[in-house]
Amino acid sequence: MNDWIKIITDPELYVNLEIGGYSIGIYFLLFIAFSEAALFTGLLFSSDSFLFIAGIYSNVIVHQLIPVANESGSAFTLAGLIASASILGNLLAYSYGSRTERYFDSKNDSLFFKKKYLEKSKVFFEKYGGWAVISSHYIPLVRTFMPLLASVSGMKFSRFVVLVSLSSTVWSFSIVLSGHYLYTFLLNNYDFNLKQHLWLMIAVLCAVAIVFLVVNTVRKKVKKVC
């Protein structure tokens, strides 16, 4: 249990995660990408920080599974693997469909579930439709419920496959490659090693998320006043 808490609070630890002397960091990362929608783990934590840091350590992580000639190749390979895992997780979540609609509608609020999150996701999806599938990957809580809502709302499976494949790919590559190339750029040009300042990056990501939420809340209140 303590090891699990450490992994959540310090994402760098999954890079060297081992079981019986065998490195499983890559499998842990793929599970995170798969389960966020498929198993609703997005209600517990967001995978964005894991993916960003994975980009920094992409060479080490990918070599746990397959050898890749260079670091850029490792970053692209890792992003592709994560995108694939995310797509599979979303397709599984889509398959739940109407079987889970009644369950969540009747479920009371608990420590890990808030009905307001589901309602917020429904409003977002109904308002933006297909665009919601593409953009939802950058909004953690909406990302978790999006496949389920797409199924419940009657979106055709073929259309959902195309949209979620596009969104998962763009999301994965943008975050993983951002981590990889930002690390490389700062190290080569300013001798600044992000591996030694991971908490600074996590703090920045959290700050951006908080600012986004505050600005969005203020904007909504201003609209109501006007």
Q: Where are the domains of the chain?
A: 2-197
Residue 1 has pLDDT above 50, yes or no: no
Phi then psi dihedrals of residue 10, to 5 deg: -135, 85
Residue 161: the pLDDT is 94
Q: Residue 19 has what DSSP assignment?
A: E
Structure-token match 């959290």, residue found: 206
Q: Which of 6, 32, 25 is nearest to 172 (CA)?
A: 32
What is the C-alpha to C-alpha distance for residues 85 and 169, in angstroms, rounded to an integer? Answer: 10
pLDDT tens digit sequence for 205-216? 667 667 766 776
Q: Which of 121, 117, 118 is nearest to 132 (CA)?
A: 121
Residue 3 has pLDDT above 60, yes or no: no
Q: Which of 115, 94, 130 is nearest to 43 (CA)?
A: 115
C-alpha of 201 from chain center = 16
What is the C-alpha to C-alpha distance for residues 205 and 209, in angstroms, rounded to an integer? Answer: 6
Query: Residue 178: beta bridge partners?
Result: none
Beta strands 22-23; 18-19: pairing state: antiparallel
pLDDT band at 94 (very low <50, low <70, confident <90, very high): very high
What is the C-alpha to C-alpha distance for residues 82 and 92, in angstroms, rounded to an integer? Answer: 15
The percent of residues above 70 in pLDDT, for the chain, comes to 76
Helix (H, G, I), strand (E, B) or coil at 130: helix
Question: Which pTM does this prediction carry?
Answer: 0.79
